Amino acid sequence: MKLFDPVPPRTIPPNLVTATAMSFGLVSIYTSLSGGDLQRAAWFVLIAVLLDKLDGSIARALKGSSEFGVQMDSFADNVAFGMAPAALIFRAAHDLAPQTWGDMAQIAGLSATSVLAALCLFYAVMTTIRLARFNVMTAALGPEIFLGLPSTLSGGVLATLFLSVDQLGLDRPEVFAFFPLLMTINAFLMVSNLPLPKAKLSKHKILMPIQAGLALLVYVLVLTRIWLWLVLLLVVAYLAVGFLFLGPRMWSASRRD
């Protein structure tokens, strides 16, 4: 009996990136719930989003994909895009919109803080269900389409929205009071059957450079921490076109084949 299983060297780099993404998620949770800087907590989530996209690329480049890596990625996503955004929204709504979600507020005769905690717990659980369902259904769905909102996009949208509100000067209690509702909508979208095309590079000679340019722009804007409202706009546009137009068409075509 061996004390440790052998690890193929080519699988180490992508799994290290995954572990780093999970670490940023954990630090984001700690920052949110310990009274730290919420903007920093949101940035940690966005860094995890970038790393989540990077680990898959590294695994494919090194031919280091593995079933272990798939499961580890799901655990990391659950932390970074389920629990971390939930902690961020709880603290933001509770502290920045106290008249709606604070300790003294009530909703339908219930403590608003308890309702807020329940909504955040619901979001975290739906993220877990989403990830487990994705692992089970990936082979059946194929490489072109998702069903429901990916957890990475959900966490990224919530973090980007929080940071954009500050950059646009919209950081008011009535705005932060809306965040738990958006989080709950995302929770339902994650476990829905709405088809969404995967954001893969097209082979079209015109579309490919446009897609690559937009992806590079998103990375640059996030890493330089400027114009995050533009990142949010691009992601929302992708989701709107994908859910309302391209996704249903691709799903119908796949069912006919």
pTM value is 0.91
> For residue 140, is pLDDT > 60?
no
Per-residue pLDDT band for 11 (boundaries 50, 70, 90) equals confident
- Tokens (6 digits) for 133: 């369902």
> For residue 129, is pLDDT > 60?
yes
Dump pLDDT digits (tens) for 143-191: 678 889 999 999 999 999 999 998 999 989 999 999 999 999 999 999 9
Kindly state the greatest CA–CA separation across the chain.
61
Per-residue pLDDT band for 203 (boundaries 50, 70, 90) equals low
Dump pLDDT digits (tens) for 23-42: 999 999 999 999 999 999 99
Dump pLDDT digits (tens) for 76-117: 999 999 999 999 999 999 999 999 999 999 998 899 999 999
- Tokens (6 digits) for 6: 């052998």
Are residues 174 and 125 in contact, defined by beta-carbon separation less than 8 angstroms? no
Cβ partners under 8 Å of residue 69, min gap 6: 11, 14, 15, 18, 55, 59
Cβ partners under 8 Å of residue 76, min gap 6: 18, 19, 21, 22, 25, 48, 52
* Closest by CA position to 217, among listed 233, 237, 231: 231
* Closest by CA position to 79, among listed 116, 53, 45: 45
What pLDDT shows up at residue 119? 97
Write the burial class of residue 53 (CB in 10 Å: 0-12 exposed, 13-18 middle, 19+ buried).
middle
> For residue 59, is pLDDT > 60?
yes
Query: Looking at per-residue confidence, does 136 or 99 come out higher?
Result: 99
What pLDDT shows up at residue 149? 94
d(Cα 133, Cα 222) in Å, to the nearest integer? 29
Q: Which domains does the chain have, with CATH numbers?
A: 9-256 (1.20.120.1760)
d(Cα 154, Cα 187) in Å, to the nearest integer? 8
What pLDDT shows up at residue 69? 84
Query: Looking at per-residue confidence, does 212 or 88 come out higher?
Result: 88
Per-residue pLDDT band for 54 (boundaries 50, 70, 90) equals confident
Are residues 64 and 10 in contact, defined by beta-carbon separation less than 8 angstroms? yes
